Structure 1
């Protein structure tokens, strides 16, 4: 019976929210309330909501929203990253917090390689020229960078970074990596990776620099003017981590001056960028709207984890993917 199902607040259903098939998965277990409906009558819906499903930071678990949800039991966030959430504050309200690790890595690694290939071989520019009514010849400006046999420097060799390395091996790439903790000799041997304790060494030697590190306060501005100046002028920067890892002003200058060849970014700060942001108008900047995890199969896996975590929280059972404030056991 629908009346017996717990209530959950979601973004929307349809073009600007969950696909219909995903919404149906949710409706099997929850009475779902689209955010637009909630805003029209928060006094009615607010006391009923026990679960907040947050996908792509929407609805955002702000203090003002949480204050309207006195019965809230759990905030269930899609994806691995939780840097956009005030976990200590949410926890202080007696509300559980969950994420969806281990199901986004393959899709993100696939997409990272897609960005690398598209930027290196100027695929987007090629499509524009191929479709242009004014095209007569293929210009030499479409000459790209060879991927096979090149050097890839991976900053952040966690689960996603390692899967990127696995894919890069198929292109016979020389793989360097910089990580907080060195991986095992077996892991390194399996993908032919060389550890660079010094980040500067990786930056100087890499044809492609891939940012796939987990975001933390220490990683803000990790790649700035100095780091970009160390890279090869022919190098390409790819970021599937978080926008704040890169000093965007420094990146704009590097791309404009030719300090590096190009950048491919699935993440920016903010998201989306203001429509007049210079990065949007640079021909050597490829930008996608944070869609690294966007595949049909991955979306279903993410949602299933969100459902499992939320149902466990409501039933008072152990939560498979609970996120606790730093320092808590």
Structure 2
């Protein structure tokens, strides 16, 4: 890329150590105050920068990419998911896209287990009682269900799905999974997981469903109204992946009708809270906290920097995303 420093625009505030390193290496424009860029601000930035560092809240569609200036050659996404970026259009325009895979695997898997516990053991209801009027302990108060012995069905057995499986075994859960491709026998044995070729059959037999697949055109509403009706009335569904994988309206109807026992959602279909979900006592909602650890956020920033630095040195970014991967 020559000797001149790249102009890098970062769309959201990042950990200070990451911002400091970016400033040392590049001509960087940081986001202050920390608020999502408007579409107009994104278009303006993409019209003049060499590298854009967006996050999940920035929808980089074909229209915006079409307005990009000739200097923009890399979109170095801060995060693993790239469903908010039109990777194919970017590639057609000669713009590379990179992401930060693998960094938040353990953090997200921890959150999936936390949500399973929160829903099955009614933790939010207990917390609410302690902030209000608690009448004292009783044998029948806040009865939940035991995790051990339940069947967990993992939808999507990539890095995060496998990390969930390893944790689940420690809680005594029986691990099952559905994936586009069956795991290699040695990996399957290591996580002690049973493969289901049919998602319908797996869903109908599980006590807990954990959504751990990425959002792609093929996984949009994978858990649709028909599939949600296959769940046992005692089943719980947990999602730490992307809200779009579940038909949220159908899920809400099922929960309200008592056809699904509970849900733990760290992600929402439209990025906004559905008030009808909010009012249900058997639903635990979190504000996309799955990857929100200090360590994870710093490591994500380090990956972004490595991708930009490698690109600046004239090489392929190590975490380049190509359309065929999606």
TM-score (norm 2): 0.88
1:152-167 to 2 correspondences below 5 Å = 152-167=152-167
Report the equivalent of 1:61. Answer: 60
Q: Counterpart of 2:290?
A: 292
* In 1: Cα distance, 2:136 partner to 2:42 partner: 59
Question: SS in structure 1 opposite 2:241?
Answer: coil
Distance in 2 (alpha carbons) for counterparts of 1:52 and 1:279:
35
Is 1:29 aligned with 2:25? yes
Residue 180 of structure 1: aligned partner: 180
Q: Deviations over 1:183-218 (max 9, x none)?
A: 122222222211111222212221111111122212
* Contact preservation (8 Å) 2:19, 2:30: no
Gap runs ≥5 in structure 2: none
In the alignment, is the contact (CA less than 8 A) between 1:221 and 1:245 conserved in 2?
A: yes
C-alpha deviation, 1:253, in angstroms = 0.8
Partners of 2:51 and 2:72 within 8 A in 1: yes
Aligned to 1:200: 200
Instruction: Tell me the secondary structure at the aligned position of residue 167 of structure 2.
Output: helix
Does the CA contact (< 8 Å) of 1:243 and 1:267 recur in 2?
Answer: yes
- Of 182-191 and 106-115, deviating more is 182-191
**Cα offsets for 1:48-77 (capped at 9, x unmatched):** 52111112333x434347625442121011
Change (3 A) 1:42 1:286: closer
Contact 1:96 1:313 in 2 (8 A): no
Aligned Cα root-mean-square deviation (Å)? 2.7
1:90–1:41 distance in 2 versus 1, CA, 3 Å: closer
How many residues are matched?
318
1:278 maps to 2:276: yes
Q: Secondary structure at the match of 1:177?
A: strand
Check whether the contact 1:240–1:265 (CA below 8 A) recurs between aligned residues. yes
- Distance of aligned partners of 1:296 and 1:158 in 2 relative to their CA distance in 1, 3 Å threshold: same
**Match runs of 1:181-260 below 5 Å:** 181-260=181-260
1:11 aligns with 2:11: yes
Name the residue aligned to 1:117: 117
**Aligned pair in 2 of structure 1 residues 313, 285: CA closer, same or farther (>3 Å)?**
same
How far apart in 2 are the matches of 1:83 and 1:41? 20
1:136 aligned counterpart, secondary structure: coil
Cα distance in 2 for partners of 1:288, 1:82 equals: 21
Write the distance in 2 (CA, Å) between the matches of 1:166 and 1:183.
Answer: 14
List gaps (5 residues or longer) in structure 1: none
Name the residue aligned to 2:84: 84
**Contact 1:272–1:289 at 8 Å: present in 2 too?**
no
Normalised TM-score (structure 1) = 0.88
Alpha-carbon distance change, 20 to 168 in structure 1, aligned in 2, over 3 angstroms: same
Assess if the C-alpha contact under 8 Å between 2:14 and 2:301 holds in 1.
no
Q: Which deviates more from structure 2 when the two are superposed, residues 3-12 or residues 33-42? A: 33-42
Aligned residue runs from structure 1 range 140-159, under 5 A? 140=140, 142-159=142-159
